[in-house]
Structure 1
Amino acid sequence: MAGVFETGIGLRLMFRESQVLVAALLTLADKGIPALPMHDGLMVAGSKDDLAARIMGEAAQDVTGHRLPISLKKHY
């Protein structure tokens, strides 16, 4: 683990994460779905949560080449 210190990997990973989030936000905006970014996630209307999760997964696949785990957190 010590071999990754001072390599810039953290900044590269944060940038990659932002690329995924922006791609998902732009897709949602194109579909007329309001969404707010929150750290490493999105806040959308409950009725759009499954669609937003699918879009976030597709954005991750497009940006990273990997399907990343997506979890839904319902807050009422």
Structure 2
Amino acid sequence: MVITGPQLLAARISIRLAPADLAKRAKVPVSVVARAEGSPGEPAITIAQLNALMQALRAAGASFPPADLPGGVL
């Protein structure tokens, strides 16, 4: 399953987590969060960074909406 930038953004917003808080939980720079969420397709970050973001989001209670949902609506 490929996770897209809009999916990451929707997941973060759904749990009302600020980008800086996600970065801290995932132990990555805020710029990584911004780059990942700003990618229209597969995020332009390393696999390790993507895994860290996804793990932090899931630990906080987020789920990932399907990529084909308009606007990433849950």
**Shared fold per TM-score greater than 0.5:** no
Task: Give the TM-score taking structure 2 as reference length.
Answer: 0.38
> Which one has more relative contact order, counting CA pairs under 8 Å at least 6 apart?
2
Asked which structure has the greater CA Rg, the reply is 1
More strand by share: 1
